[in-house]
Structure 1
Amino acid sequence: MAGQVFTALGLMSGTSMDGIDAALIRTDGHGLVEPLGFLFAPYRRAFRDRLRAVLGGVGDVAGVEQELTDLHADAVASALRVHDLTPDQVDLIGFHGHTILHAPDRRHTWQIGDGARLAASTGIDVVFDFRTADVKAGGQGAPLVPLYHQALVGDLERPVAILNIGGVANVTWLGPGELDVLAFDTGPGNALVDDLILSRTGEPYDDGGRIAATGKVDMDLLVRLLDHGYFQAPPPKSLDRDAWNRTALTNLDTADAAATLTAFTAESIVRALDHLPTPPRRWLVCGGGRRNETLMWMLAERLGVPVSPVDGLGWNGDALEAEAFAYLAVRSRLGLPLSLPGTTGVPEPMTGGRFSPVG
């Protein structure tokens, strides 16, 4: 398959639990990347509640996994219809599934999603279960997007940081050399604020950071939140979305709690500088967090260098993670590494993923 160019569809159900990102690319699994299109399929509130109920690996995991897989099959059908494609025109699906438990210290990670069921439903070969091999080999299993970031960055001036703010935030630092790659989860992204806003208002997130913008940061609580061993620990390191105790927030009104959690995300990203080989010349931001104007303002003020959405480079900041799993699916089929010692702490470059062919 060397030298072959694949048309691949990546599917990502993120930690924010808002829905499915479906991104189509052409790639050779190396430096050739051509984004072809993107579609977002939102989850209904009732399914989000069922998905939230199995976090940690409890409850009706099998039932939710089947429903999640079928929703992904629907997203594939929608993507094919929008892009006027038939299943035989797509070589491969990269199916991330949804993480319900991530404990790399115990060499365990769990992404639900039935690859065989998805392949049978869509008529397209599927690569899934991307993180398990890395974790079993002693890696963190996350983040897995950095090699895709490296393919995209090309000739941009380095060092540069690609910051993904999803439910959890992670950074990819790219230096001048091909192997000058360092990546790790910086701390909370949108998940804490999203959960707060959902529980207090019924809305799924703080649109544009407007609620946080009207609040006051509780500095004492912010200091306590930042007094967590994770921030001092050297990379590689990764997080579960529910790593923080949120009980202290009950004493704050919604605006102040949102402001404090937004500042927590920003400050934890700033603290990532302590672990980077050299400070980035610029930060390029993808994921839903780039739309939070309050968060972006906090980051620009604290980092002191340009902080801007990746969309200014012509990239789709909503699609990058889904595109990455399409890219990684191709690399998996080619037997190429999905992770490196500098990205997940795995002892050596590691491929991964399981393959479910049609039939």
Structure 2
Amino acid sequence: MSASVQGGRPVNVIGLMSGTSLDGVDAALLRTDGERVLAHGPALTQPYPPELRARLRALLDRAPTLTATDPALIEATRALTLAHGEAVQQLRALAPAMPAELIGFHGQTILHAPASLAAGQAGRTWQIGDAALLSTLTDLPVIHDFRSADVAAGGEGAPLVPLYHAALLAGQARPVAVLNLGGVANMTLVQSNGAVLACDTGPGNALLDDWAMRHTGRPFDQDGALARKGRVVSTVLEAMLAHPFFARPAPKSLDRLSFHAALALLEGLGPEDGAATLTALSAQAVARTPLPEQPAVWFVCGGGRHNPALMHALAAALPAPVRPVEALGWKGDALEAECFGFLAVRSLRGLPLSLPATTGVPAPQRGGRLTCGGITPYAHTALPFTP
């Protein structure tokens, strides 16, 4: 089913994001017409229970051979969806004066293999989550499946945040960049001429998270404590940076596990030196991304900006100031969730979600699918709806 919002009327939309760090559900309320951001409502993060996080992490290793009928997949999908439903209800309770009309539901990526990563096979991207169940739980229409149309059209399917970043950056001096440090890191560059360029830069937190879990039993390097005690092993770092991905120009994208095999290069290193080297890898991957012009300032969002060691490494590696997005008055932990609310409204209006310079898709690409579950489409909202 496809739909459009007539006339671009602003919509109160809840965006939901569960990123490649697998740490939980981010939920944010936004008022937008899909081109402008007119109001920011509350936002929250609901961490996954350790058991669900472990189940999701296990699915990543099995994803290439998983089938839709796999019991572990079915159970994890339901648990994931219930967690998202709970986050929606908690968020709605925080904003009774800003009633939600729509949900943008990204789901959890368990496999990302666009054509550039698929070894000559057709591209594929897979986000799990039961949109029909979420719609029934919340009594709201749900837009989901944001990436597959782009991949089917020959794009990378990621990153999808650039159009939202660009909307928020309207009025900022250019060139300017936003760097999102999730499990995979991605960046948006608004160039001097206003053109938007984007790509994944390389590992963000994912390798470091896996390293910390292996050596400390904790799911991430809290406050960069491991990395700050270690030293960067330059020979290992350069071996990792020799991967051909880093020399490719934007746009380009990664799967969370694209560099997982690189952990083998750290064998023999202590926990601290391994963490320091992986932190340097994330920073150097950004610094070595081929760009047509360098931004005058980098604004950083995502969980990685809470890691002082990583922020210090970025400041040392980049030739321009590095600042958290809070310097702009943005909610750094809510940006991706807000983005998928923004994209949900764009989807309803039939506006592109991606561009050739953001995902490599041959032409601006629409995306997203509307699901209404067990409810009558828009019976409980004021959205003007055209099927």
TM-score (norm 2): 0.89
Q: Which whole-Å deviations, capped at 9, do the CAs of 1:321-348 have from their partners, x for residues lacking one?
A: 0000000000000000000000001111
Query: What is the one-letter code of the residue matched to 2:8?
Result: G
- Return the match for 1:35 from 30, 37, 40: 40
Instruction: Verify: 1:269 aligned to 2:281, yes or no.
Output: no
Distance (whole Å) between structure 1 residues aligned to residue 105 and residue 331 of structure 2: 19
3-state SS of paired residue (1:139): coil
3-state SS of paired residue (2:267): helix
| 2:328 paired residue number | 313
Give the CA RMSD over aligned residues: 1.2
- Return the match for 1:298 from 299, 313, 332: 313
TM superposition shift of 1:199: 1.7
Instruction: Verify: 1:227 aligned to 2:239, yes or no.
Output: no
Query: What is the one-letter code of the residue matched to 2:110?
Result: I
Distance (whole Å) between structure 1 residues aligned to residue 164 and residue 29 of structure 2: 14
% same residue: 51
> Following TM superposition, where does structure 1 have runs of at least 4 consecutive aligned residues deviating by more than 3 angstroms?
none
Instruction: Verify: 1:92 aligned to 2:102, yes or no.
Output: yes
Q: Which whole-Å deviations, capped at 9, do the CAs of 1:120-151 have from their partners, x for residues lacking one?
A: 11101100010000000000000000000011
3-state SS of paired residue (1:25): strand
Q: Is the 8 A contact 1:22 1:322 kept in 2?
A: yes
| 1:63 paired residue number | 75
Distance (whole Å) between structure 2 residues aligned to residue 208 and residue 159 of structure 1: 30
TM superposition shift of 1:85: 6.1
Instruction: Verify: 1:44 aligned to 2:49, yes or no.
Output: yes
TM superposition shift of 1:166: 0.3
Instruction: Verify: 1:101 aligned to 2:117, yes or no.
Output: no
TM superposition shift of 1:297: 1.0
Distance (whole Å) between structure 1 residues aligned to residue 340 and residue 257 of structure 2: 23
TM superposition shift of 1:80: 1.2
TM-score (norm 1): 0.96
Q: How many residues align?
A: 354
Distance (whole Å) between structure 2 residues aligned to residue 24 and residue 176 of structure 1: 31
Q: Which whole-Å deviations, capped at 9, do the CAs of 1:158-179 have from their partners, x for residues lacking one?
A: 000100000000010002444x
Distance (whole Å) between structure 2 residues aligned to residue 251 and residue 37 of structure 1: 46
| 1:331 paired residue number | 346
Distance (whole Å) between structure 2 residues aligned to residue 248 and residue 283 of structure 1: 30
3-state SS of paired residue (1:78): helix
- Return the match for 1:251 from 263, 268, 283: 268
Q: Which whole-Å deviations, capped at 9, do the CAs of 1:217-249 have from their partners, x for residues lacking one?
A: 111111111110101122221000111211222
Distance 1:214 1:70, change over 3 A: same
Query: What is the one-letter code of the residue matched to 1:202?
Result: G
Instruction: Verify: 1:26 aligned to 2:31, yes or no.
Output: yes
| 1:114 paired residue number | 130
| 1:285 paired residue number | 300
Query: What is the one-letter code of the residue matched to 2:113?
Result: A
Distance 1:85 1:249, change over 3 A: farther
TM superposition shift of 1:25: 0.5
Query: What is the one-letter code of the residue matched to 1:9?
Result: I
Distance (whole Å) between structure 2 residues aligned to residue 280 and residue 37 of structure 1: 30
Distance (whole Å) between structure 2 residues aligned to residue 3 and residue 138 of structure 1: 28
Distance (whole Å) between structure 2 residues aligned to residue 338 and residue 176 of structure 1: 22
TM superposition shift of 1:207: 1.6
> Which one is further off, 58-67 or 235-244?
58-67
- Return the match for 2:15 from 10, 16, 20: 10
Distance (whole Å) between structure 1 residues aligned to residue 181 and residue 216 of structure 2: 22
Query: What is the one-letter code of the residue matched to 2:155?
Result: G
**Which structure 2 residue ranges, 5 or more long, are not aligned?**
1-5, 116-121, 377-387
Distance (whole Å) between structure 2 residues aligned to residue 112 and residue 25 of structure 1: 23
Aligned pairs for 1:125-140 (under 5 A) are 125-140=141-156
